[in-house]
Amino acid sequence: MSGNNPYQKTLFLDRDHSILAFNERVMDWARRPDVPLLERLRYLSIVSSNLDEFFEVRVAPHLTAARANEQRGPYTAQTYEQLSLEVHALVAQQYAIYNDELLPLLEKKGIKIISHGERNPRQRRWVKDFFVKEVQPLLMPVGLDPAHPFPQVANKSLNFIVRLSGKDAFGRENEIAIVKVPRILPRFFRMPPVKGSRQTHFVSISSLIRSHLSDLFPGRQVTEFSQFRVTRHSDLAVDEEEVKNLRTALRKGLQQRHYGQALRLEVSAGCSLYLSNFLLAQFGLVEHDLYRVSGPVNLVRLNQLIDKVDVPSLHFETYNAGWPVQLHPGESYFDRLKKGDVLIHQPYESFDAVLAFLREAVEDPDVLAIKQTIYRTGAKSELMDLLREAVRRGKEVTAVVELKARFDEEANINYAERLESVGAQVVYGVVGLKTHAKMLLVTRREAQGLRRYAHISTGNYNPGTARLYTDLSYLTADDALTADLEHIFLHLASQNRLPKLNKAMIAPFHLHKAMLDKVDAAGAAARAGQDARIILKMNALTDEPLARALAGASQQGVKIDLIVRGACILPAQVPGFTDNVRVRSVIGRLLEHSRVFYFRTGEVEELWLSSADWMNRNMLRRIELAWPVTDAALRHRLIEECLLAYMHDTKDAWLLQPDGRYVPAGALERPGTVLHSAQVSLMARYGGKG
């Protein structure tokens, strides 16, 4: 399924195909017997969440071209058909793992999602009572007739469609009704324990309602029914050049997002043709868009069940991040940074150190100003509380808030308003460009005058994801680099021209061309007989000019290793094209998120950290930051931990083949070889288990 690509027009791999191949690799963790059982279930739900976003963001152009039966850019009816076939196959694998592997294993461990047919009389009475008291009062079935047309169905909401016999209270034979399941209701409920049994029983909200649908339609008979869920296009499109207030325009857009173009319809496997055809017609969809599933139509919500089961052996062992090795608790950050730069490798080392840096800046009376970019910070953010406290203490606080951070727009609008309410200066970056750079700049009064201290990062200021994503935080008092950051903040606020920067590179002005130049320089060095090497670690490689440059450097003899977690359009080791390119994807317990770019041309060695992936949007349509690591010890550490460790990973790595297939690195090792995991090794090096 993830191999030959019939709609591939060039030597590059198709991006959407590559995204689906990535989800196959994630789903492999749901199959691995060495992974704790509930974590296997969690990986299955992650795939569902990824597929939801895939439809919400990537599928609309394919479907639009297919409906018009014409080519629109790279999108055609053929590309949509192939994409649909691949997603259907992926979903079929998902539910096969869920039903045939994970549910039986969970039952052996004493955990069972019990259906109506399996419940004993006592359990049925409990379900009935629970339904009447806790669920039925929140349900409002809608019978369809000319006065009650098909209701608005929100994106990804759970619903039931019901076919009824008999007549309604007015003697009419309107036979279709819709029941919306309120999102406020949990998707799984723990049932009372069975006397003498060690099993823990759960009932799903869909099973609970399904068992009592007839109670919602007294005097009529339910002849057919199915749960259903529709996925809609959800990428907000706001013409920033036309709107006077971006925040207001986005708030209006958020209200409409839940009702965008329908793209996918999920129904129960047993849904009748009559009902599925009725739904397809309502949503303007066709058979390709229909997904019949044997189980819950939303596996994402399995997380609710996972979190209700407190059995440590079924979860990953708790990992406690170590305090950063370069920092000593109690030591002033300002004193420490005068001695040199500090690297924090998250989540092996704790993100709490970053919050402690900001907290010290807020509490220090000599700190005069704090400037920070905000992209994704989480629903509840200590960082936001600290910035508000800084304003209350009389400091100048500037927050560059990215309102268009996809699916975090509402949270960021709320944060912007809260910061403005206490007097912070809030700006929204540059019209037409997302601000994706992660920067925190502190200005402090000292005996010698004003001095700047900074935190810059490959990842977001989000304490939650900082425990799950691998990222690199960099603390510095370097005068040249912090001056660059000052200029960038001034540019974002004033939109004046950037002066020539000392060390940093910023997209969309410098970064794309600089990376192309560095790849070309490596190629020129190899052509001249010099040693040339490129190693890149990132989340995605989908920019064609950069991919083409890497292919060209490979043809000139540069040895290139790419560690790309997700989509990668550059195939590996294609004769005459990418002979010297190796591509690996590491899928582990943690989500690989750091961006590290290493170049060696002759005797010159460079290492850059960045907020940017090698994607067209990052290079040309976002404000992104890249900065060099000039400290030799830190550069050596980054090469060892972020590049070499992953290049030698044989347990969690997948190797890209010329035709777009990925094969597990361990499958290429000799039988009996002890496999190596970079993540496990780094967790052992830095953390403590408890």
Question: Where residue 379 falls among pLDDT bands split at 50, 70, 90?
Answer: low
- The confidence score (pLDDT) of residue 242 equals 44
CB 472 within 8 A of CB 609: yes
Rounded distance, CA 42 to CA 299, Å?
9
Are 47 and 27 a contacting pair, CB within 8 Å?
yes
Strand, coil or helix: what is 228? strand
Choose the weakest-confidence range: 75-84, 410-419, 537-546: 410-419
- The maximal CA–CA distance of the chain, rounded, in angstroms, is 89
| Burial profile 201-234: b = 16 or more Cβ within 10 angstroms, e = fewer | bbbbbbbbbbbbbeebbeebebebbbbbbbbbbb
In this prediction, residues 616-624 reach a mean pLDDT of 91
pLDDT at 4: 43
**DSSP per position, 110-160:** TEEE--GGG--HHHHHHHHHHIIIIIGGG---EE-BTTBPPPP--TT--EE
Query: Where does 162-222 have alpha helices with state H?
Result: 205-210
Q: Which class would CATH give 507-689?
A: alpha beta
Q: Which fold has domain 320-503?
A: Endonuclease; Chain A (3.30.870)
Measured at the CA of 47, the angle between CA 23 and CA 663, to 5 degrees, comes to 25
- 175-to-30, 166, 223, 265, 273 alpha-carbon distances in Å: 41, 8, 10, 21, 15
- pLDDT of 405 over the 50 cut: no
Averaged pLDDT for residues 102-121: 92
Supply the pLDDT for residue 166. 76
pLDDT digits (tens, 9 = 90+) for 49-62: 999 999 998 998 88
Residue 151 has pLDDT above 70, yes or no: yes
- Using the predicted structure, report yes or no on whether residue 165 has a pLDDT greater than 50: yes
Reply yes or no on whether the pLDDT at 77 is more than 90: no
- Residues 673-688, mean pLDDT to the nearest whole number: 91
Confidence of residue 73 (pLDDT cuts 50, 70, 90): confident
- Residues with catalytic annotation? 436
DSSP symbol at 653: E
Whether 430 has a pLDDT exceeding 70, the answer reads no
pLDDT of residue 116: 87
Is 15-314 in CATH node 3.30.1840.10?
A: yes
Strand partners, 452: 443
Identical fold, 320-503 and 507-689: yes
Q: Are strands 425-427 and 396-401 parallel, antiparallel or unpaired?
A: parallel
Higher per-residue confidence, 685 vs 8: 685
Domain boundaries, given as residue ranges, for the chain:
15-314, 320-503, 507-689
| More confident position, 78 or 367 | 367
**pLDDT, mean of residues 618-641:** 95
Residue 164, Ramachandran bin (φ over 0: left; ψ between -120 and 50: alpha; else beta): beta
